Amino acid sequence: MITIKDLHKSYKTGNNSLHVLKGINFNVSEGELVSIMGSSGSGKSTLLNILGMLDEADTGSYTLDGVAIKNLNEKIAARYRNKFLGFIFQSFNLINYKTALDNVALPLYYQGMKRGERMDKAKAYLEKVGLAQWMDHLPNQLSGGQKQRVAIARALASDPKVLLADEPTGALDTKTSYEVMDLIQQINDEGRTILIVTHEHDIAQMTKRIVNLKDGLIIDDTKVNQVRALQNV
């Protein structure tokens, strides 16, 4: 599903250049649930943002679902994001003046789906994350866990190939974190490819594979026996 080869990325701040990713090689197959671990500042988010086409690598190749991702302009990147990817952020990034339902329907709007159809579909996804009765609420009327569920429903709405989650439980307490992980596991069970950035070991143990990043390089990449989140709730 994802193939990256010799990916490099550095940030320029003033006269200094910070080499964040120093040659990442990495494959993800369909249906995997991968966690990317590493200490703070190790380049986890940078890697995920490049995978998400929110940012661009300096060098290296990236193939997503057989499509070479290169020479992207904003327009094509937007289309690819809409078609291939679903994002889940630590800070949820819901649009605060839109209801839960309208937030979930937004990617479908950008797919050009008619209003009636996209509302039906959005409702179905809210039901899937157990928030059907909250659909008319604004984000600030929801708890953190609920917000993240709405965000997950939104990420799923466009039926993407890959879900990318940057510290999805970073702003949640343990119990809520496990509930969210349970939802993510269920979605993965249905066959969806998911990448999670986290620095929490217990969360990483709930995925099927842990990739360890240090100083811009992958130092470890191992399959793990998945811990079901539901058992810990």
Ligand X SMILES: Nc1ncnc2c1ncn2[C@@H]1O[C@H](COP(=O)(O)OP(=O)(O)O)[C@@H](O)[C@H]1O
Binding site for ligand X (CB under 6 A): 11, 13, 18, 20, 38, 40-46
Give the up-direction half-sphere exposure of residue 145: CA atoms within 13 A in the CB hemisphere.
15
Q: Give the CA dihedral 203, 204, 207, 213, nearest 10 degrees.
A: 150
Work out the number of other CB atoms within 10 angstroms of the CB of residue 201.
11
Q: Is 90 in the site for another protein (CB under 8 A)?
A: no
Residue window 97-136: x/- pattern of binding to another protein, with contact defined by CB under 8 A? xx---x---xx-xxxx-xx---------------------
CA distance 106 to 150: 12
Q: Six-digit token pair at 161?
A: 């190939």
Q: Is 87 in the site for another protein (CB under 8 A)?
A: yes
Which residues, 45 to 84, sit near another protein by CB under 8 A? Answer: 49, 52, 54-55, 74-75, 78-79, 81-83
Query: Which among 25, 19, 30, 33 has a CA at the least distance from the CA of 7?
Result: 25
With CB under 5 to 8 Å by kind, the binding choice for 109 among Mg ion, another protein, ligand X, none is another protein
Q: Is 10 in the site for another protein (CB under 8 A)?
A: no
CA distance 211 to 76: 29
Chain centroid to CA 192: 12
Closest to another protein by CB, 162 vs 206, is 162
> Shortest approach of another protein to residue 58 CB, angstroms?
14
Closest to ligand X by CB, 42 vs 176, is 42
Instruction: Provide the binding-site residues for Mg ion, judged by CB under 5 A.
Output: 45
